[in-house]
Chain A
Amino acid sequence: MEKFERLISTAVPLPTENIDTDQIIPARFLKATDKKGFGDNVFKDWRYHKDGSINTDFVLNNSRYSGSVLVAGNNFGCGSSREHAAWALAGYGFKVIISSFFADIFKGNALNNGILPIQVSEDYLQTLLKLITEDPDTNVDIDLQNQVLQIVGKTVVEKFEIDSYKKVCLLNGYDDIDYLLSNKDKIIAYEQEHQF
């Protein structure tokens, strides 16, 4: 997994609430057997009309907005457990998702793919959405080591929470498999004690 330490980037505003993983990557694109190529189909049915023409109203098709930070409405990533949603967002180039609330499974999937989900207060989210919508050149500075988020040029600093274990994983590019395998002895001992 790629390391994540610090990121300064412009951001894309997507204020819609309850964005489910079916919107992030529709089920018909889940037939691949590797992790590549999902970025092309991220938010497919919001980016394109059914006839294949571009939906110019959708923010990802608006050339004013770009960057590797997505700022999204409350309850981002609800619904299906498909990790393809995280692969699609990462494939498109997003490294950080900011929202006022994340669905559990999505949050875990994001972290397991080097994407940092940052939960902020609803008030802060609305302020941030307004700022980046009005001025697409606004840069957001995300410092994982210090767990702070700052809008470049503004003095207000927003602290964010992250599980300390997951933080170590992201900073170093470790994944859970390495950790679990290093505990094989304990797992075998558990099995012997709790005969299944």
Chain B
Amino acid sequence: MAKTLFDKVWDKHVVDTIHDGPQIIYIDKHLIHEVTSPQAFNELSERNIPVFRPQQIVATADHNTPTVDQHLPVKDALSRNQLKQLTENCNTNNIELYGLGHEYNGIVHVIGPELGITQPGMTIVCGDSHTSTHGAFGTIAFGIGTSQVAQVFASQCLLMNKPKKLRVNVNGKLRKGVLPKDVILYIIAKLGTNSGTGYFCEYAGNVFEEMSMEGRMTVCNMSIEMGARGGMIAPDETTFEYVKGKKFAPKDAEFDKKVAYWKTLKTDEDAVFDLEYSFEAEDIEPMITYGTNPGMGIKISEAIPSYNDASFEKSLAYMNFQKGEKLLNKPINYVFIGSCTNSRIEDFRVAASYIQGKQKAPNVNAWLVPGSQQVAKKIKEEGLDEIFTAAGFKLRQPGCSACLAMNDDKIPEGEYCVSTSNRNFEGRQGQGARTILASPLIAASTAVAGKIINVLEESSTLELV
């Protein structure tokens, strides 16, 4: 029978099927961090259950870590305790930890791919909904709750019902200045935040085929924002080239053997999806959000729609926006470039190429937070930090930072933040903070202009991206 990419990877990981119930699915890699793992470790130790396959687990500290002075003890006592527990739990259970200060430390969904931990055809889980990021490699990767973290610790497996299959096709030629972030924000704005619930999504079409791995990660990262547990893109030469030579990637003959297998991970031509959508690349423009969920997005030049709906109105009231209002020229005091969605080297290259020769607007506080130590290192090697410094920007140290504001990187109440992160929920970036999601290019242009501008109207920009 014809199979989809998802079927091929899923079916290979089925250990057993319960009659009239879920399946036991084998998990190849389990990524953990300080926030969603402690209760799972406690659960195991209370029940006297050992961690079954510690060598298949990799840990990092990212969610509540500071992004300045990482060499000093963490000031917040609760955060410090959580980090200490992670270290102790990893030591006790022989789990590899890339903690604060380690050369491989960074956001869990940035380090997995850049270290070659993430490989095509795998199953990867993490107690974090943006685990969908790793689907960019043609892996089945999804976020899990802490009870499930404990289950994977105990058995390296999960009990799952096979999700339904969804395909989103985007074909055509993207306009200059339209980035992967705009593509996924456009898809979510079209389909809504719960359209993908119960599904695993495959992104197909020449737009994704022509995208870099980092762009594909940005797209897959936000699959959960339309409700899909995960998103996938079929691995191809771009994927193999990216994985090749990475620290934990297979080497030499083993790599060639893997590639031969990875090449089979494509949806068969006559495979059937439960649901399918198609969009044209030419219709996509730089996107921004105006509301309190990622589906509330518009093209940057458009006006906020007018719906008579209590939840919609509650959302606009929180944002202090009016129906029919345009966001162009809206003054903005905070800009955040970072998060597991957009904190990789290409994101900083885009930002730097726009910023070069310009100055940050005096009203703007801009937080530039690399996704990992490796990204921070590349920023320096490529001289991007000099461009940022000359323009009045300061780079911070890696971590999740203002994406969820668990550390001190909080946007003040009532302030707008143009953010490259993934969620514009109420209070997500700090109590009362108002988030506008956008691409790194829009974030950079906002930081320079001090307000939201349409970069497509600036001819000089289009040369750069």
A residues within 8 Å of B by Cβ? 15-18, 20, 22-23, 26-28, 30-35, 45, 50, 73-75, 78-84, 86, 101-105, 108-109, 112-113, 163-165, 175-177, 179-181, 183-184, 186-187, 190-191, 194, 196
B314 and A31 form a contact (CB under 8 A): no
**Chain B residue with the shortest CB-CB distance to A112:** B147
Bound-state CA distance A146–B78 (Å) is: 45
A86 to chain B, nearest CB (A): 7
Question: Least Cβ distance of B440 to chain A in Å?
Answer: 22
B254-303 contacts to A (CB < 8 Å) = 293
Known: A108-B148, A177-B47, A183-B15. A30 touches B406 (CB 8 A): yes
The docked-state distance in angstroms from the alpha carbon of A104 to that of B144 is 10
**Chain B 47-62 interface 0/1 with A at a Cβ cutoff of 8 Å (1 = within):** 1010000001000000
Q: Are B413 and A23 closer than 8 Å at their CB atoms?
A: no
User: Is there an interface contact between A187 and B26, defined as CB atoms closer than 8 Å?
Assistant: yes
Known: A33-B38, A183-B15. A105 touches B193 (CB 8 A): no
Beyond the given pairs A164-B21, A176-B148, 13 more chain A to chain B contacts, judged by CB atoms under 8 angstroms and listed by A's residue number, are A23-B426, A27-B405, A35-B39, A50-B431, A81-B143, A82-B35, A83-B145, A105-B129, A105-B229, A176-B151, A177-B150, A183-B24, A186-B16
- Chain B 34-49 against A: per-residue CB contact (8 Å), 1 yes, 0 no? 0110110011000101
User: Do A20 and B293 have beta carbons less than 8 Å apart?
Assistant: yes
Contacting pair B428 A22 (CB below 8 A)? yes
Q: How far is the CB of B132 from chain A (nearest CB, A)?
A: 10
What are 18 A-B pairs with beta-carbon distances under 8 A? Answer: A35-B39, A45-B427, A73-B311, A78-B227, A78-B293, A81-B128, A84-B146, A104-B197, A105-B129, A112-B145, A176-B147, A176-B148, A180-B155, A181-B155, A186-B15, A187-B155, A194-B26, A196-B28
Minimum CB–CB distance for B196 against chain A, Å: 9
Q: Flag if B35 contacts A30 (CB, 8 Å).
A: yes
A69 CB to closest chain B CB (Å) equals 21
Contact present for B427 and A34 (CB under 8 Å) = no
A26 vs B193: C-alpha distance when bound (angstroms): 20
Within 8 A of A (CB), among B403-423: 404-406, 413, 423
A157 to B49, CA, bound (A): 43
Residues of B within 8 A of A26 (CB): 427, 431
Which residues on the A side are within 8 Å of B24 (C-beta)?
A: 180, 183, 186-187
Instruction: Please state if A22 and B194 are interface contacts (CB–CB under 8 Å).
Output: no
Mask for B302-326, Cβ within 8 A of A = 1, else 0?
0000000011001000000000000
Q: Does B12 have its Cβ within 8 Å of any Cβ on chain A?
A: yes
Interface centre among A33, A50, A86, A109 (most CB of B within 10 A): A33
Given A164-B20, A176-B159, A34-B42 contact (CB < 8 Å): yes
Q: How many A-B residue pairs have CB under 8 A?
A: 178
Are B311 and A18 in contact, CB atoms less than 8 angstroms apart? yes
Indicate if the CB atoms of A16 and B314 lie closer than 8 Å.
Answer: yes
- Tell me if A33 and B406 are in contact (CB < 8 A): no
Query: Which chain B residues numbered 140 to 183 have a C-beta less than 8 Å away from chain A?
Result: 143-148, 150-151, 154-159, 161, 163
Interface residue stretch chosen among B79-87, B99-107, B330-338, B347-355: B79-87
* Complex contacts, B248 vs chain A, CB 8 Å: none
Contact status B426-A45, CB under 8 Å: yes
A105–B431 CB distance below 8 A: no
Q: How far is the CA of A28 from the CA of B143 in the complex (A)?
A: 20
Would you call A165 and B21 a contact (CB within 8 A)?
yes
Q: Whose C-beta in chain A lies nearest to the C-beta of B47?
A: A177
- Residue pair B22, A105 in contact (C-beta under 8 Å): no
Q: Are B227 and A104 in contact (CB under 8 A)?
A: yes
Most buried by B among A50, A75, A82, A180: A180
Q: Are B157 and A180 in touch, CB under 8 angstroms?
A: yes
Question: Quick check: A33 and B193 within 8 Å, CB to CB?
Answer: no
Asked whether any CB of chain A lies closer than 8 Å to the CB of B64, the reply is yes
Q: Is B205 in the interface zone, CB < 8 Å from A?
A: no
B432 CB–A CB distance under 8 Å: yes
CB distance from B226 to the nearest CB of A (A): 10
Fill in one digit per residue for B189-228: 1 if any A CB lies within 8 Å of its CB, else 0: 0000110011000000000000000000000000010010
A53 nearest CB across to chain B (Å)? 14
Q: Does B425 contact A (CB under 8 A)?
A: yes
Determine if B450 is an interface residue (Cβ-Cβ < 8 Å): no
Q: Select which of A15, A16, A33, A191 is within 8 A of B82 by beta carbon.
A: A33
User: How far is the CB of B69 from the nearest CB of chain A, in Å?
Assistant: 19
Indicate if B135 sits at the interface (CB-CB under 8 A): no
Q: Is B1 an interface residue (CB 8 A)?
A: no
Does chain A have a CB within 8 A of B18? Answer: yes
Contact of B145 among A32, A108, A190 (CB under 8 A): A108
Q: A184: which of B155, B159, B311 is its contact (CB, 8 Å)? A: B155
What CA separation (Å) do A74 and B295 show in the bound complex? 14
Select from chain B the residue with minimum beta-carbon distance to A75: B194
Chain B residues, CB < 8 A from A17: 311
Are A103 and B227 in contact (CB-based, < 8 A)?
Answer: yes
Q: Of the candidates B15, B148, B156, B423, which one forms a contact with A112 in the assembled complex, judged by CB atoms under 8 Å apart? A: B148
Instruction: Please name all residues of chain A whose beta carbon is closer than 8 Å to the beta carbon of B138 when the two chains form the complex.
Output: none
Complex-state Cα separation, A181 to B159, whole angstroms = 11
Complex: A30 Cα to B146 Cα, angstroms: 12
Tell me, in angstroms, the Cα distance from A35 to B198 when the chains sit together. Answer: 27
List of B residues within 8 angstroms of A190 by Cβ: 15, 26
Cβ of B28: which chain A residues have Cβ within 8 Å of it?
Answer: 196
Question: In the complex, which residues of chain B have a beta carbon less than 8 angstroms from the beta carbon of A165?
Answer: 18, 20-22, 159
A171 to B113 alpha-carbon distance, docked (Å): 41
Q: A22 and B227: CB pair below 8 A?
A: no
For the complex of A and B, 7 pairs with smallest distance between CB atoms: A165-B21, A31-B78, A112-B147, A109-B145, A83-B145, A33-B38, A180-B155
